[in-house]
Amino acid sequence: AFEEPFVLDCMIRITFVTGAGKQARAKYDDGAAKAVTSVLNKYGYQDDRGASCVLECAGSYKLQHDTGKNLKTVVVFPKVTTNDDNDSGPHQAEPLIPKNSEGYKIAIMSMNVFKNMINSKCPSWSQKKGCLSCIEALLEILQELDAKLMDGTSLNDSEQSYYDDVVSLDEKALHVKHEMNNHIETGRITKFELETLLKQNSERIEALKNEKKSTAKALQRKELLESIQPISPHKLRLEEEIRKFRKELTPLLQLEAVARGRLLSVKETQTLARKDEIVEEIEYLENASRGWFEDDEAFESRVQASRDVYAEKRKKKAAKAALISSDTKVRMSATKFVTPGQGRVRSKGSSKIKNRVKGGGVFSAMIMDSDSDSDNEVEEEEDEDEIIEQEGNENADAPIDPTTQKTKKKKKKKKKPKQDASPAEGDVSNEGEEEDEKTTLARANSFLQTYIIPFLMAFLRWFVGLLFGKPKKSVRPK
């Protein structure tokens, strides 16, 4: 129906319903939109997201999602020719090839423009093969027109326009063949293209054997093809935009997986409502990334490769995040948080003092932690006194060298600030007074813990018992 143009005075819009949202998705086939667009592409229609119902947009279509009706549609603006009775101006003949088609652009462009175009619009070997088939079809039309002229038949307006506009088709065909051969020699062939070439080569060898001709060149070509390491497919033209939508879709898929089997909150429902729109946008961008002369199999392999690359990156990122989190947990478990009084070296004297403090409970533990510093200081002073007494017994006649005494003290008490090597007599007396004060404080502390605190605790128990009373004991009858 869309192969021939419609005879109309104004543009019309034809809408095909090809799918629906989540609630009515099962009513439509998944490949409905693809089937419609493939036929339109075959007849020279172009995908135009900005197309509208005007004559300038004839021969185009666009994919839409009607959110109000929750339907997916393909809107077609057909090719239109005006009626001769209603034409006010001179009649313009319909071109032999649609002006928006790739074949028309290739036929009329110059050779220099064609060389630049072939690398950008047809980067792969399979696309160049499709371009070569198109050029060969254009050459057949040109040869038919030449045959007409040779027979003396005049050309109509469309044929004459085509005959005048076509430029250097033979040179373009040779250039494409040269580029295809370069792809094979340099190994720029994908896995799908390599399988196609090997299949063609095997068919060629069988045909030569049936015709009883030499197969040397075909076998040499087979060895060259088998030595090629296939490359990854070319990226999609709109890969960057697709990646952004996929990144936005990832947390929504995770939310949907977590929320499966339970009721969703209002916020979660609103968030997941965006998922269908993102999926449709990704599908549209993938279809819009189809290159010139790219068949369905080659295009599907490129789309699948793009999805696989993104999935692989997601797996690597998730594994890296899991590794970082596990390392953090190990470091947190290995870290020790030291509270005041914990981890200090306690001597035997301090343990004796702890044993003297009776009465279990939190209060006793608090007393022991708070007095650990004073116990350590008392023990260090006792050790220093013992060292001094031993030196005095060994060297009773020899005078005591204050420098030696200082160094011994430094070994036991490193936190004490460094003093001069030759102290005065006043400093020695000050040190003695400080030691006496520390000893007095330690004894007072010990007296407090041994007598005063137990007395206060006993008084407190008595007062509580007096205030609330004691439980009565049950007396058993004799």
pLDDT of residue 175: 92
The CA dihedral of 417, 420, 423, 427, to the nearest 10 degrees, is -30
Nearest to 41 by CA among 119, 98, 106: 98
Mean pLDDT, the chain cut into blocks of 10 residues (478 residues total): 78 86 77 83 80 81 80 86 52 68 86 87 88 90 88 84 86 91 88 87 88 86 88 85 87 80 78 81 85 83 86 81 66 51 47 44 47 50 50 45 44 45 50 80 87 89 81 53
Q: What burial letters (b/e) apply to 51-85, b meaning 16+ CB within 10 Å?
A: beeeeebbbbbbbebeeeeebbbbbbbbbbbbeee
H or E, element range at 330: helix 296-334
Nearest to 411 by CA among 384, 375, 434, 429: 384
Instruction: Please name every residue paired with 17 in a beta bridge, in sequence order, or none if there are none.
Output: 73
Instruction: Please name every residue paired with 6 in a beta bridge, in sequence order, or none if there are none.
Output: 80
Count Cβ atoms within 10 A of the Cβ of residue 310 and give its class: 0-12 exposed, 13-18 middle, 19 or more buried. middle
pLDDT of residue 473: 53
pLDDT of residue 267: 80
Q: How far apart are CA 405 and CA 407, in angstroms?
A: 6
Q: How far apart are CA 288 and CA 49, in angstroms?
A: 10
* Cβ proximity of 202 and 141 under 8 Å: no
What are the distances in angstroms from CA 100 to CA 41, 58, 96, 163, 227?
11, 10, 12, 18, 41
